[in-house]
Amino acid sequence: MKQKSEFPIYKPEYQDHADSRLIAQPSDMRMGATKIKNRMARKVFIETYGCQMNASDSELMAGILTQSGHQTVTDIEDADVILLNTCAIRENAETKVINRLEHLNHRKRRESNLVIGVCGCMAQHLRDKLLEAAPYVDIVMGPDAYRNLPMALNAVVSGDPYLGLQLDKGEDYADISPIRKEGIRAWLTIQRGCDKMCTFCIVPFVRGRERSIPLNILKDDVERLVDEGFKEIVLLGQTVNSYHDGKHDFGELLWSIAEVEGIERVRFTSPHPADATESMIDAMENSPKVCKQLHLPLQSGSTPVLERMRRTYTAEEYRKLVQKLRERIPQIALSTDVIVGFCGETEEDFDKTHTLMEEIRFDSAFMFKYSDRDGTLANKMLDDDVPEPEKSRRLNEIITLQEHISAEINQTKVGTTVPVLVEGNSRRDNEQYHGKSDTFKSTVFPKENAQIGDIVNVEIHSATAHTLIGQIS
Ligand code: 5AD
């Protein structure tokens, strides 16, 4: 059995802990046996905050809990265990969870058996300090400790909180079957952790070192997903394109996933510009199943700021990469992440970001004010010296700019026909479907005779900054 530990345990090989699994393996399940004896089968509600990786981890948690005889529920009122799967990337992500916990504590006062767990990045970040802020929390569990969830549920029956905060380079959960929501798009984690050490970023400290899941396992996963009816696979990793399983790189993985019979689309998020290798670009250019769409986080258009962020590329190198991508894949849609108000960012630095965004014209962008995170390299080495109102002004300026650009780009799609994978009813109108185009644009159109999971050609007749509206042609 794995030891509960407060300290990082680094294991060099995946196989190292293959026989220390706490969870019943599929063969055990077939025999109707579980290795863990549950004192009590629980009804667990998992609430997810933050990025897609967290959404994927929640599916993993559901898999671990179900395999050990617990049940996940979709209505929080039915639950006797509530797990918040949290984010730590910016301060407001943590504030949201603290507020939510206070609300849940009201319920706990009425239902003393209710178990409240904080899982994920914020748990790993705040550790036992979280219990000082919210002493009614029963479980504090970081992203590498989910295998211990059933054990934690047993342990808290005694009334003591359970802390699972070991980071484990050997943990890839490759043997666990996540429980996914039905649909046409499946998220598949191919890599965990991050080795990049961008100075602003908390991720390496809360998700540990980078590790990739072997390609043959991923290929089997994808074959299973196709059998289950999924049409689109989104490969997930913190810096997804630095994937390397010791034998195969990211480009090889893309090719081999795209070759799985029955797959319609392959996407991935989020790559790091420094790892945009020839092998990745080749797969994007030449595999018809790999979508011509790339989320390529820029962070800043100023080289001195990028240097302070330790992004390992200059603004010029980023510009050249975009040029190359557009030469090779002319229809490519690009989106990005930008941080304003990073330590020492001058007006001139900010202008460079603004100008580069004007020049590149991303299809869309996620834009953030820099948020100083305890434990990061920037927090230790640099001054968070851009005043809050200035951060807000800069953020508003680029949001306005990007909204214009997104609207203009979408406008150019009017009159064209785009292939859309039908996902489900549109949120506003049951007579309409919504889906994503090949370049990941949200598209809405009347249903006609199309079925969910079909790829239909939609002629676009109008557009907003965020949506294309059309008709099946
Ligand atoms: N402050 C603001 N934004 C951040 N991001 C990461 N760390 C921070 C931080 N400390 C942004 C980056 C990253 C995205 C996921 O979140 O733009 O690409």
- Listing DSSP states for 116-152 in one string gives EEEEEHHHHHHTTHHHHH-TT--EEE-TT-GGGHHHH
DSSP state of 181: P
The total number of residues shown for the chain amounts to: 473
| pLDDT > 90 in the chain, percent | 91
Burial class (CB in 10 A: 0-12, 13-18, 19+), 182: exposed
pLDDT 10s digits, 323-377? 999 999 999 999 999 999 999 999 999 999 999 999 999 999 999 999 999 999 9
pLDDT 10s digits, 356-367? 999 999 999 999
Residue 31: pLDDT band by 50, 70, 90 thresholds? very low
The answer, yes or no, to whether residue 179 has pLDDT greater than 80, is yes
104 CB-near residues (< 8 Å, 6+ apart): 82, 114, 116
Strand, helix or coil at 334?
Answer: strand
* Residue having the nearest C-alpha atom to atom 7 of ligand 1: 201
**pLDDT reported for residue 16:** 30
Locus of tokens 């699994």:
21
Say yes or no: CB of residue 371 within 6 Å of ligand 1.
Answer: yes
Residue 40: pLDDT band by 50, 70, 90 thresholds? confident
Say yes or no: CB of residue 296 within 6 Å of ligand 1.
Answer: no
Atom index in ligand 1 nearest the CA of residue 372 equals 10
The answer, yes or no, to whether residue 33 has pLDDT greater than 50, is no
CA torsion sign, 245 to 193 to 205 to 370?
positive
Say yes or no: CB of residue 311 within 6 Å of ligand 1.
Answer: no
pLDDT 10s digits, 297-308? 999 999 999 999
Say yes or no: CB of residue 200 within 6 Å of ligand 1.
Answer: yes
Distance of CA 439 to the CA centre of its chain: 19
* Residue having the nearest C-alpha atom to atom 18 of ligand 1: 337
Choose one of 51, 197, 200 to mutate for the ligand 1 pocket test, by most ligand atoms within 8 angstroms of C-beta: 200
How far, in Å, is the centroid of ligand 1 from the Cα of 201? 6
| Mean per-residue pLDDT, 26-54 | 70
Say yes or no: CB of residue 373 within 6 Å of ligand 1.
Answer: yes
Residue 34: pLDDT band by 50, 70, 90 thresholds? very low
Lowest mean pLDDT among 7-11, 127-131, 193-197, 414-418: 7-11
| Mean per-residue pLDDT, 230-238 | 98
Say yes or no: CB of residue 50 within 6 Å of ligand 1.
Answer: no
- Angle made by CA atoms 465, 466, 469, in degrees to the nearest 5: 95
Locus of tokens 């990941």:
440
Lowest mean pLDDT among 36-40, 151-155, 297-301, 437-441: 36-40
Atom index in ligand 1 nearest the CA of residue 376 equals 10
| Mean per-residue pLDDT, 139-155 | 97
**pLDDT reported for residue 171:** 97
Residue 38: pLDDT band by 50, 70, 90 thresholds? low
Q: In what order do the strands lie in the sheet with 185-189?
A: 185-189, 232-236, 265-269
Quick one: tokens of 381? Answer: 């080495």
Say yes or no: CB of residue 336 within 6 Å of ligand 1.
Answer: no
Say yes or no: CB of residue 248 within 6 Å of ligand 1.
Answer: no
Residue 4: pLDDT band by 50, 70, 90 thresholds? very low
Quick one: tokens of 380? Answer: 């230790």
The answer, yes or no, to whether residue 11 has pLDDT greater than 80, is no
DSSP state of 2: P
User: Across the chain, what does the average pLDDT equal?
Assistant: 92
| Mean per-residue pLDDT, 176-180 | 96
**pLDDT reported for residue 204:** 97
CA torsion sign, 440 to 444 to 445 to 446?
positive
Say yes or no: CB of residue 368 within 6 Å of ligand 1.
Answer: yes
**pLDDT reported for residue 15:** 28
**pLDDT reported for residue 199:** 98
**Over the Cα atoms of the chain, what is R_g?**
23
Alpha carbon distance 86, 143 (integer Å): 10
Alpha carbon distance 466, 38 (integer Å): 47
Quick one: tokens of 91? Answer: 């301060």
All domains in the chain, ordered by first residue:
22-164 (3.40.50.12160), 182-291 (3.30.750.210), 302-411 (3.30.750.200), 417-472 (2.40.50.140)
Atom index in ligand 1 nearest the CA of residue 378 equals 10
The answer, yes or no, to whether residue 3 has pLDDT greater than 80, is no
Quick one: tokens of 456? Answer: 């239909």
| pLDDT > 70 in the chain, percent | 92
Distance of CA 180 to the CA centre of its chain: 14
Residue 422: pLDDT band by 50, 70, 90 thresholds? very high
* Residue having the nearest C-alpha atom to atom 12 of ligand 1: 337
Strand, helix or coil at 398?
Answer: helix
Alpha carbon distance 232, 374 (integer Å): 37
The answer, yes or no, to whether residue 42 has pLDDT greater than 80, is yes
How far, in Å, is the centroid of ligand 1 from the Cα of 131? 26
Choose one of 92, 201, 207 to mutate for the ligand 1 pocket test, by most ligand atoms within 8 angstroms of C-beta: 201
CB 115 within 8 A of CB 138: yes
How far, in Å, is the centroid of ligand 1 from the Cα of 341? 12
**pLDDT reported for residue 37:** 55
